[in-house]
């Protein structure tokens, strides 16, 4: 419990030094809302990759919500191809336990992610009313919000240590494989798009889909925390 208190204190320190971040987040939220609302009507008539891509790559990957944070708290070039968070490096040079640092980074991620994606999911409900009841939309929201936990929590791990060259290599390799699998599954096999598939799950199997999503979120949260802790243990910040 004491380590969680320390982590929360460090997280609040970041938030107190990020007043402009909340204005940026509000601006991104408004732009995202207008863009998504313009895509939904045509998507519900005939699925296309536009809405899928925006949901996957920007909103529920956690990228946009983390982009607004101050630079000192974000991933920055340190030297050569070595990237890390300057604030995280400073914490490592102080008498702060590595478990505390990891928990702080994940609390910070969750805070910004929840503000952005949570607010967006709330205000988007009227746009989906024609295809989902309130109960189904709650399940739909849980599915997508949890996606940003069990997949999006990879974001904090990069801030511990990242090699730009390897990141680009793995991004191209696995990104291509995932994109090909996505096209085959959701535009050849299911043939209605990823967002439409999650609407189907939320409508036909809301409880099961919600439970599985929550379980995956818990597993993902703990998995990525262990990955980040391992990075902190192996990296020499001196």
The domain total for the chain is 1
- Residue-wise pLDDT for 143-167, tens only, equals 999 999 999 998 898 888 787 777 7
Give the per-residue pLDDT at 199: 93
pTM of the model: 0.90
**CA gyration radius, the chain:** 19
Q: For residue 8, is pLDDT > 70?
A: yes
Give the per-residue pLDDT at 142: 96
Q: Predicted confidence band at 1 (pLDDT cuts at 50, 70, 90)?
A: low
Nearest to 112 by CA among 155, 158, 169, 143: 155
DSSP state of 237: -
- Residue-wise pLDDT for 38-88, tens only, equals 888 888 888 778 888 888 877 787 778 888 888 878 888 877 778 888 888
Question: Does residue 119 contact residue 26 with C-beta atoms inside 8 Å?
Answer: no
- Residue-wise pLDDT for 79-132, tens only, equals 777 888 888 888 888 878 989 999 999 999 999 999 999 999 999 999 999 999
For residue 161, the enclosing domain spans 2-234
Strand pairing category for 76-79 and 162-163: unpaired
């Amino acid at each position: 419990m004491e380590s969680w208190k320390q982590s929360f204190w460090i997280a609040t320190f970041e938030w107190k030094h990020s007043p402009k971040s909340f204005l940026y987040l509000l601006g991104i939220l408004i732009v995202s809302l207008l863009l998504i609302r313009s895509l939904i009507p045509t998507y519900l008539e005939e699925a296309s990759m536009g809405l899928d891509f925006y949901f996957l790559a920007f909103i529920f990957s956690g990228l946009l919500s983390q982009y607004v944070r101050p630079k000192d708290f974000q991933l920055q070039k340190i030297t050569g191809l070595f990237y890390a968070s300057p604030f995280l490096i400073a914490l490592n040079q102080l008498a702060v336990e590595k478990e505390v640092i990891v928990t702080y980074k994940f609390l910070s991620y969750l805070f910004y992610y929840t503000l952005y994606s949570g607010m967006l999911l709330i205000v988007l409900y009227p746009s989906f009313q024609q295809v989902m009841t309130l109960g189904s939309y709650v399940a739909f929201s849980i599915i997508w919000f949890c996606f940003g936990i069990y997949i999006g929590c990879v974001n904090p791990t990069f801030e511990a240590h990242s090699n730009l060259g390897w990141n680009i290599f793995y991004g191209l390799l696995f990104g291509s494989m995932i994109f090909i699998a996505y096209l085959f599954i959701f535009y050849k096999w299911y043939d209605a798009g990823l967002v439409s598939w999650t609407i189907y799950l939320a409508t036909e199997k809301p409880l099961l889909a919600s439970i599985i999503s929550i379980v995956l979120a818990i597993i993902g949260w703990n998995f990525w925390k262990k990955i980040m802790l391992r990075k902190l243990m192996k990296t020499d910040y001196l």
